[in-house]
Structure 1
Amino acid sequence: MGGVEMNLDKGFTDKWSGADFKAGRQTLNGAQAFAYVRTRHAFVGSDLDRTKNQQKFLSTLASQVATPGTLLNPFTLYPDMSAGLDTLVVDKDKNPYQLGKMLFAMKDVSGGDGRPMNMPVSGSVGGNLQWDRPKVKQLVDELKNDDPVTVTSDS
């Protein structure tokens, strides 16, 4: 792909992941992308912020791959898919059509009807996050009943 173009709201460094980023638009190579999605020590919210970065990265990656220029060009599609499939584990019965649907669903997380979120938490005790039990119950009920999700992880 030649990298993933990301727009970072703020710069950060993390000696454990190797991340060293300035704010703004930049193209991440493989090593930088790995450092970006692994970073947690640079943030106050640590693991929660890391999952938000991972969601943002996957959505951005999917948006950049799921374009007609990539999907309709076998010379672009097959190398990109091969590189991704080496690191992606899926059920053995998944076919290319289902993988394509998954890619478009990932793209829609931040660009369409989808919404990225973390489990709602109410704080932490001894360094361990505590779930906001009423919100988690509401979230599980909404998902189980296929209702629109009204719970947010931020409020």
Structure 2
Amino acid sequence: MKKLGAWVLTCLVVCAPLIYVGHLLSNYVKIRKDLQRKSAIVVHPTVGENEALDLGYIYSMRRDSLLREGRLNLVWFVVVPATNVHYSCPYEEGYSDFKTGDSVRLIHTTSEDGGDNGYIVGLHDNERDKVASVWNFNLDTVEPDMPDDE
């Protein structure tokens, strides 16, 4: 009976980490396939009457593979030098290889309400005319969540 208990304990100690690593590997593959699928979509930007076309550049970015959740967190931070307005642009679909320092055209609505759909269009080199669909937020108008002082 002791041998059976020791075997079960050994199996749990060895199998549990292997199952967890398998889960993480499965999520990694899922993230890569999802990014390949979204990157293969050709995005054609549309410009409406209340949308702005601003020239800017990507001053920072975040690219995190959240293996436990099985999703990619890809966000570009764009500044428009003419107005000094900063935007956070989480990736939706289309071209996904913009880098920090890339010059871009940001197509977005001019409303002040939260986030809106928009586009990032590359302007130079390999990124020229590449388009990503993004959800953009004007960081200069977003109220930070701060705890109330009581």
TM-score above 0.5: no
Task: Report the structure number with the largest CA radius of gyration.
Answer: 2
TM range (shorter): under 0.3
TM-score normalized by the length of structure 2: 0.20
User: Whose helix fraction is larger, Structure 1's or Structure 2's?
Assistant: 1
Structure with higher RCO (Cα < 8 A, 6+ apart): 2
